[in-house]
Amino acid sequence: MSPPLARSLPALLSHWWHQLRFRHENKKGWDEMLDETYLLHIKLTNDIPLFYAAKTNNIACIKKLLSSASTNIFERGALGETALHIAVMNDNVEAAVALMDGAPELINEPMTSELFKGVTPLHIAVVNQNISLVHHLISHGGDVATPRATGLYFQKRRGGLIYFGEHVLSFAACTGNENIISMVVNTGASTLVSCLLFPLLVFSLGNTVLHILVLQPNKVAACQSIDLIMTRDAELQEPVPLDMVPNLQGLTPMKVAAKKGNIMVFRHLVNKRYVFLWRRGSFSSKLYDLTEIDSWADNMSVLELIVRSHHKEAMLLLEVTPVKQLVSLKWNLYAKHYFRLLMIVYLLYISIFTTCCFYRPLMDMPENYTKPSLDKTISFKTIYIQKPLKESYVTPQDKVRLAGEIVSLLGAVAILLLEAPDIVRFGVKRYFGLSALGGPFHVILITFACSVLLLLVFRVCDVQREGDVMAVCLVFCWCNVMFFSRGFQLIGPHVIMVQKVGDTMWILSFFLISFSGIWIVYMTQDPAAMPTFVNFPIILYTEYEYCLSMLNILWDPTIYTPPMAFVLLVVFSIIAGVLFVNLLIAIMTDTEWDVSQDKDLLWKIQVVSTILMLERKLPRCLWPRLGECGLKYGLKDTWYFRYESPAVKLQINIRGRSSGSLIPNLKTLTGRLKGWHLIHRSTLDLEMKLKYLEDKDFNPMYIQYVYDMILSVSLKCISVHFHFLKCPIIAKRNNH
């Protein structure tokens, strides 16, 4: 699904502004600058003798040039590289060894250009996965801890191709080459700590090696590198494990995986922390560590990051054990009941407010009342006006209404006090922009609360426009009831459609404002002749009615109409009646298809968001912590979630492993079964397979598999029907 316009437009404008500023400072685009730099690099490599010898792996020429006094071994190319960089780039081991022997000063010499600043020959050899070159560089004194690649090409940026961090170890880990990683880590016991933990202090974003691995596109290689590095880190027995070290944003590697929607690495990190309890036949029990996952004691938990994430893949994390089971338990035990109770309280509150509005203090308009100045074509039909403040609370009915108004004011103040901390916490842009957090419903609720306080000011100051504010309040408070649909799985996901289609309001607004210029044509006409085109606000509302086909275009042949008005009205009719309606239908269809594809996940995101909201609002005494304390099992002082694997799932997995296929084979010997027993057995197999599919993670192959199973059962039922028809008793009965 495309991101909402409210979220994507500021980011797009910011990206355009950075591009414009970069172009102003550098006078060239990024791609153009890269092309010129690489072309100049090729030219200088061919022109400089030492560079050309390193590129062609000419050992004799390299030794002769190094022995010459006129040769500058520190000569730089277009990328700020030395001759040793050239040899390593081209994987010329012999040339690199000759340069290291003849000019050992070049071993740790970094590049100096703005693009590749800080890159050493060891960085390049690690990226090229040239084990022989890595071995020679390290054996000749290559530094594996200090050098940092801080050039623009290696920084984390929008549109960047790679992000390998800055240190040699992070480069090695991102390549996924176990031999190179071991070679770098095993350089020396004294450098092991600095290799693993030193990046935390110097990376521009505070990311450790594990953080960088989470961001890599090759998930399998990243998991393998994580296992190797965490094994080495465990040997140090540090008080804080490397996978628990946060970056400058306060995110650990697991939280970064949750934020980016990296389901494979996230599941891998979760499975490395669980504790196996026991196995009894087909049953097994495990304790999953809830550290960083549960939101009860962590304001930046995995659940919080899943809701905040802009990545669609983050929703899939809600299907991973134990996140799925934890969310289900929280919702069914506490959140569902508290949320529906909150809905009842809200409905009671807005019913009281609505009653107070219906019985607001009014009186007959006196004869000496000053009427507002209007055009001659508009008549004044008002017969009631608002009572003064002194006369509004006299009768017993007024005092009952006063009690309801006090409740309405207290409720509005409570709404603002509850919404303000979340606005500060998430930020205005994210709090009002994310659909999972409520999005426009928070805008509606806050506007309603502010309008109720404005009603108090109007009532005290005897302002006669109180009815206008009341109308806005009533519309907003009852529209906000849709927010509570997220508590029901049937209608919760479909409310998101209302928020998604809201983007078309921008198109409608520009369309109506542009065609409202037709008012210029009618400015010289008599207002009484064309009341629907009397001024700009009225013609704007009239065109809105035309656009929705609620009103036919008015035209009186007895009144002169400028020809340009006919042209504009014809164009407006074509666009409004054909193009815009079809556009709205297309957007609604596309949105409905997107919502239907992820209906269950969208509802689960809403459930998680509701759980987090209730945990922040309710006192701790009403929301006990779920899970088991690890001290009961002789473990560390953290909370665990015990999960027992279902028997059906385990039995099917065992059979599936024996067959070696993705979907377990549950076929039975149906040749011996006849009639109803055949139908019963086939239906039972189908139910077991559907149960298996519910427990498995989503895979498109499962849909095709279910479709094949339903078709198979249907064919079996048809065959049984024909089998009954062939039976002599049935055939005889059919003849009669």
Helix (H, G, I), strand (E, B) or coil at 239: coil
Cβ within 8 Å of residue 691, ≥6 positions away: 648, 649
Cβ within 8 Å of residue 491, ≥6 positions away: 485
Classified by CATH at the fold level, domain 501-607 comes out as Helix Hairpins (1.10.287)
What pLDDT does residue 373 have? 58
DSSP per-residue codes, 177-229: -HHHHHHHHTT-HHHHHHHHHHHHHHSTT---HHHHHHT-S-HHHHHHHHHHH
DSSP per-residue codes, 451-518: HHHHHHHHHHHT-TTHHHHHHHHHHHHHHGGGGGGGGSTTTHHHHHHHHHGGGHHHHHHHHHHHHGGG
What pLDDT does residue 646 have? 62
Distances (CA, A) of 522 to 88, 345, 535: 78, 52, 9
Name the region of 463 (left: φ>0; alpha: ψ -120 to 50; beta: rest): beta
What pLDDT does residue 378 have? 58
User: What residue segments make up the domains of the chain, in order of their start?
Assistant: 23-251, 325-487, 501-607, 646-735
**For residue 279, what are its two tokens?**
């196995």
Distance CA 512, CA 135 (A): 70
Dihedral over Cα of 36, 38, 39, 45: its sign? positive
What is the chain's alpha carbon radius of gyration, rounded to the nearest angstrom? 36
Contact 289, 339 (CB under 8 A): no
Q: Model's pTM, two decimal places?
A: 0.72
Classified by CATH at the fold level, domain 23-251 comes out as 1.25.40
Specify the DSSP element, H or E, that contains 278.
strand 275-280
What pLDDT does residue 30 have? 66
Q: For tokens 């922009």, name the residue.
A: 433
The C-alpha torsion from 111 through 115 and 121 to 123, rounded to 10°, is: 140
Q: Per-residue b/e over 440-452, b at no fewer than 16 CB within 10 Å?
A: bbbebbbebbebb
Please enumerate, as own/partner, the contacts of 78-81 that have beta carbons within 8 Å and a separation of 24 or more: 78/37, 78/38, 78/40, 78/41, 78/43, 78/44, 78/113, 79/37, 79/41, 79/111, 79/113, 79/115, 79/116, 80/111, 80/112, 80/113, 80/116, 80/117, 81/41, 81/111, 81/113, 81/116
Distances (CA, A) of 292 to 6, 68, 289, 640: 30, 62, 9, 11
Q: Per-residue b/e over 339-372, b at no fewer than 16 CB within 10 Å?
A: beebbeebeebbebbbebbeebbeeeeeeeeeee
Residues of the chain with pLDDT under 50: 1-7, 189-203, 647-703, 705-707, 718, 720-736
Contact 168, 175 (CB under 8 A): no
What pLDDT does residue 523 have? 63
What pLDDT does residue 98 have? 93
Cβ within 8 Å of residue 150, ≥6 positions away: 117, 118, 166, 204
Distance CA 257, CA 271 (A): 14
What pLDDT does residue 3 have? 41
Distance CA 558, CA 724 (A): 81
Residue spans of alpha helices (H) in 311-463:
323-330, 336-358, 396-426, 428-433, 440-461
Name the region of 673 (left: φ>0; alpha: ψ -120 to 50; beta: rest): beta
Specify the DSSP element, H or E, that contains 694.
helix 675-695
Distances (CA, A) of 351 to 417, 467, 700: 21, 17, 47
Question: Side-chain half-sphere of 225: how many Cα atoms within 13 Å?
Answer: 28
Distance CA 179, CA 21 (A): 44
DSSP 279: E
Provide the 10 A C-beta neighbour count for residue 696: 15
Contact 159, 183 (CB under 8 A): no
What pLDDT does residue 518 have? 67
**For residue 205, what are its two tokens?**
């974003």
State the maximum Cα–Cα separation within the chain, in Å, rounded to a whole number: 118
DSSP per-residue codes, 599-652: HHHHHHHHHHHHHHHHHHHS-GGGSPPPSEEGGGGT--SSEEEEEE--HHHHHH
3-state secondary structure 126-173: HHCCCHHHHHHHHHCCCCCCCCCCCCHHHCCCCCCCCCCCCCHHHHHH
Provide the 10 A C-beta neighbour count for residue 654: 11
Helix (H, G, I), strand (E, B) or coil at 344: helix
